[in-house]
């Protein structure tokens, strides 16, 4: 009996070869080599184009406000008109979930310049005028990182990371130039604090005539004009709108909302002059600018508001550390964006290091993450847990969830649904509370923080305002 062998279908590759090359294996092999070579070239070109999205060594300007409430500029809903800060938002990216690392000045400024949780540097509280501690020279700042990359660096305004001991001065932490105050606040006109001059030119106390907000902007504009050949990195740390609240004409103490508004507008005008200097010198499209505040608005200041947030400076309620923040870089950051991505002040150091092509010394690591992909390509940040804390008070974020310890009570909030922190879910979700407490304890051990997650007797005072401490 005759048998037949069943036909087998040719492979897809064989069928393709027949269709395109008439069955010629040699022609198919030649085409495959060509196609693979073309693909490799396309990938290389794509990588090169993506890398060119970040120009080599852009100039960097960091604008820091002092004690500015979340709702204290008009692009965040304030009654105070701030057209220049609004311009940053209109032409850049506005953050709605950006946070200071601390709820008072010193911790936030430490995290900003080191890129790490401030607890690692031992600066988790406010330095007062008699403090003998400060930022150790063992710490590595963004200014230290940028110097080998060819940057000229300057800080004008408030330092608050060590008083008049030379080892704590900004010029011994990577900054080529420093003009401003070393402590937490001064008289805006005399530049004295507790009877002592606190206005410095590098390591030397040297007074200048004028309103401090204006002087800080003056020095920033002068620096931009002198350093327009670049690259440069400039931190402009206004002492506005920290106390004392003073009438801009007389210098006398004032408690009116109008005075607070005018102080805020004086800072806005200074920012406008800085932006104008960048544009007039043809630097706008090669300068990355970031604006934020060091902590929330202070309780009891007429005209200031953290709405819709709960709490004030000095607390770990959202009003103590969620800040207005804006990134601006014409031609690179798409205009008119708003992002709900969660970011912190310590993220600025890795961001500017990536932009500048700067590197860390061996063995150094940062707690912050770079925001470059978010800013330039709107790529979401990787999921991470974030922490705040000092002693009995602390907070943690895990996505929309916030675990908070204030007034001897532990709270749990879903900020996506309850931004104003009005509906405590701790009793309903005990397992989540315990898991997050364990995260807080692990973080505290890692960074050397002293926090207490144990329950104590509830306090009768809940959400008490921050103390009126003028040194903060």
CA distances from 142 to 64, 92, 234, 236, 353 (A): 15, 23, 11, 14, 7
Q: 314, 436, 455, 424: which is closest to 387 by C-alpha?
A: 436
Cβ atoms of 244 and 470 within 8 Å: the answer is yes
- Give the chain's radius of gyration (CA, Å): 27
Enumerate the β-bridge partners of residue 177: 154
Identify the residue whose tokens are 């205009």: 335
Task: Give the integer Cα–Cα distance in Å for 426 and 451.
Answer: 19
The two structure tokens encoding residue 345:
């002040």
Q: Which run of H or E residues covers position 262?
A: helix 257-280
| Residue of 152, 160, 173, 321 with catalytic role | 160
- 219 tagged catalytic: no
Peptide bond into 241 cis (omega under 30): yes
Instruction: Read off the DSSP letter of residue 169.
Output: S
Question: What is the 8-class DSSP label of residue 331?
Answer: T
Per the annotation, the verdict on 75 as an active-site residue is: no
Q: Give 395's strand partners.
A: 388, 404
- Residue 370 DSSP symbol: -
Q: Which residues sit opposite 388 in a β-bridge?
A: 395
Q: Are the CB atoms for 238 and 66 separated by under 8 Å?
A: yes
Contact 317, 311 (CB under 8 A): yes
Between helix 212-226 and helix 257-280 the angle, nearest 10°, is: 10
Spatial neighbors of 280 by CB under 8 A, at least 6 apart, are none
Question: Which listed residue (105, 110, 116, 233) is catalytic?
Answer: 105
Instruction: Please state the φ and ψ torsions of residue 88, each to the nearest 5 degrees.
Output: -55, -45
Which among 166, 169, 173, 108 has a CA at the least distance from the CA of 146? Answer: 173
The strands making up 409-414's β-sheet, listed across from edge to edge, are 385-390, 393-398, 401-406, 409-414
Cβ of 249: how many Cβ atoms within 10 Å? 8
Active site residues: 105, 160
């Amino acid at each position: 009996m005759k048998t037949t062998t069943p036909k087998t279908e040719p492979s897809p590759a064989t069928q393709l070869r027949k269709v395109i090359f008439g069955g010629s294996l040699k022609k198919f092999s030649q085409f495959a080599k060509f196609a693979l070579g073309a693909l490799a070239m396309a990938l290389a070109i794509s990588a090169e184009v993506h890398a060119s999205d970040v120009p080599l060594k852009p100039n960097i300007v960091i604008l820091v406000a002092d004690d500015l409430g979340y709702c204290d500029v008009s692009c965040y809903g304030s009654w105070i008109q701030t057209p220049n800060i609004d311009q940053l938002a209109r032409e850049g990216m506005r953050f709605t979930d950006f946070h200071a690392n601390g709820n008072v000045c010193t911790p936030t400024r430490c995290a900003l310049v080191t890129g790490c949780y401030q607890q690692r540097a031992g600066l988790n509280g406010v330095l007062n005028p008699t403090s003998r501690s400060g930022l150790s020279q063992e710490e590595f700042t963004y200014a230290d990182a940028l110097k080998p990359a060819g940057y000229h660096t300057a800080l004008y305004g408030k330092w608050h990371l060590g008083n008049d001991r030379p080892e704590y001065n900004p010029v011994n932490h990577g900054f080529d130039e420093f003009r401003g105050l070393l402590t937490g606040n001064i008289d805006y006109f005399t530049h004295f604090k507790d009877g002592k001059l606190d206005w410095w030119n590098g390591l030397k106390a040297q007074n200048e005539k004028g309103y401090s907000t204006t002087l800080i902007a003056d020095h920033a504009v002068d620096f931009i004009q002198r350093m327009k050949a670049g690259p440069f990195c400039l931190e402009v740390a206004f002492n506005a709108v920290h106390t004392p609240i003073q009438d801009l004409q007389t210098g006398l103490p004032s408690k009116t909302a109008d005075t607070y508004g005018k102080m805020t507008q004086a800072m806005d005008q200074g920012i406008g002059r800085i932006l104008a200097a960048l544009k007039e010198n043809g630097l706008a499209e090669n300068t990355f600018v970031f604006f934020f505040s060091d902590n929330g608005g202070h309780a009891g200041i007429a005209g200031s508001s953290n709405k819709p947030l709960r709490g004030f400076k000095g607390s770990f309620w959202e009003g103590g550390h969620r800040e207005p923040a804006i990134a601006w870089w014409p031609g690179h950051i798409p205009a008119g964006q708003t992002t709900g991505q969660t970011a912190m002040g310590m993220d600025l150091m890795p961001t500017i290091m990536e932009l500048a092509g700067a590197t860390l010394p061996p063995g150094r690591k940062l707690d912050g993450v770079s925001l470059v992909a978010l800013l330039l390509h709107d790529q979401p940040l990787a999921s991470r847990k974030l922490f705040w804390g000092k002693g009995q008070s602390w907070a943690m974020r895990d996505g929309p969830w916030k675990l908070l310890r204030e007034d001897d009570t532990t709270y749990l909030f879903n900020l996506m649904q309850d931004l104003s922190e009005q509906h405590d879910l701790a009793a309903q979700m005990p397992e989540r509370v315990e898991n997050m407490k364990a995260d807080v304890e692990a973080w505290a051990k890692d960074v050397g923080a002293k926090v207490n997650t144990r329950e104590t007797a509830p306090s009768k005072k809940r959400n008490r305002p921050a103390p009126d401490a003028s040194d903060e």
